[in-house]
Structure 1
Amino acid sequence: MSNSHLFLKSGFIRTPSQNGVGRYVCQLQRVVLKFCKNNGSSRGMRDFIESGLVDFAKNNPGIVVYLKPRRHRTAVISAEYLNGDKQYINCRNFAKEEIIKWLNLLKTQSGNTTGFRYRKLLHTDHPSIQGPWTPYTFKDPAENLAKFPDQDLSRPKHLPKTATEELLELFQRSSLGSPEGKRAE
């Protein structure tokens, strides 16, 4: 095991408490677009500012957008989130479409950076070589090729019949097999 994890922040997985239960709260708080007015590597950023910035601001009223012109520097997107984390994206020679894609990605992220060592409540000296358990670990591979909706796969085989199904079967047996059921027809 390497010691590279010693320099990473550590903690438990934190999510915004019940984000999306009442309403969704975008975690991106502020975006600063830094660019040079003359440098050729900032051309895509300037094109985005001229043609796409107003639409982005109208579609995302909860995100504050700042413009910061700087001389002789490359274009940078600086994003700040509600949890205090910051992300920087170097936009050297990016096209306008690439900047739009990066802004949409930043808008949908929670702000937790990848440089984070996750801590667990449990520890073992012999971790599993098979990987973590998921709900799909012991599923039948035939379900991968099935066309849904499928009657055979819709009801698990280990569950007993429901009371409604039992009553329907009893009614069908009694009406077809008994002489009273035949007289009623």
Structure 2
Amino acid sequence: MSNKHLFLNSGFVRAPLQNGVGRYVCQLQRIVLKFCKTHGSCRGLRDFIEQDLVDFAKQNPGVVVYLKPRRHRGPVAVAEYLNGDRVWMNLANKTHSEITKWIEVLRTQQGDIASTRLRKYQYTDHPSIQGPWTPFTFKNPELNTAVLPDQKFGANDRLPMSATEQLRLMFEKQKLEEGDVKTAE
């Protein structure tokens, strides 16, 4: 058994502050973009700063953006989150579009989960040998080779009509009958 878990923080996977239950709170608190004004590997980050940084700041008013020019150093993004995690990302020789995607990844994650030893609320001495359940556990294997949409797998006409659909049809029928009565008068 390995002892490498001794050097990792332990924690549970959960939505921070029940994020998304009432409203979404962006977990990215601050992002520091460090770059050189002349270094060749910083070209993509300089393009991002010139073209997209103002729009990023307007779309994310809760995120503080710092620019830190440094001489003869490679480009780096340091993201700090509400839970105290800091994620450092090297952006050397990345294009403008790649940096845009990586900044979006930093904005949408909740910190560095990879450096956390995940714990469970349950414990058992005899874990299942069948493996965890997934949504594909009891699916028909014919779905793997089917060309979708396929009437065989997606036929909903076999299902009974829902109550909402019945009410909608009754309402339309009632409107038609009222229209016929008004035209007859």
Q: Structures share a fold, TM > 0.5?
A: yes
Q: Does 1:150 align with 2:155?
A: yes
CA distance in 1, matches of 2:45, 2:86: 20
1:11-56 Cα offsets, whole Å, 9 max, x none, are 2223223322322111111110000112111111111111111111
Q: Aligned with 2:67: secondary structure?
A: strand
CA distance in 2, matches of 1:54, 1:29: 17
Q: In structure 2, what residue type is equivalent to 1:151?
A: N
RMSD over aligned Cα atoms: 2.6
Equivalent residue number for residue 106 of structure 1: 106
CA distance in 2, matches of 1:20, 1:13: 15
Instruction: Give the TM-score taking structure 2 as reference length.
Output: 0.73
Instruction: Give the TM-score taking structure 1 as reference length.
Output: 0.73
Q: In structure 1, what residue type is equivalent to 2:3?
A: N
Equivalent residue number for residue 53 of structure 1: 53
Q: Does 1:28 align with 2:28?
A: yes
Equivalent residue number for residue 121 of structure 1: 121
Between the two proteins, the alignment pairs up a number of residues equal to 157
CA distance in 1, matches of 2:113, 2:122: 23
Moved more, 59-68 or 141-150: 141-150
Equivalent residue number for residue 7 of structure 1: 7
Structure 2 residues not aligned, in runs of 5+: 164-185
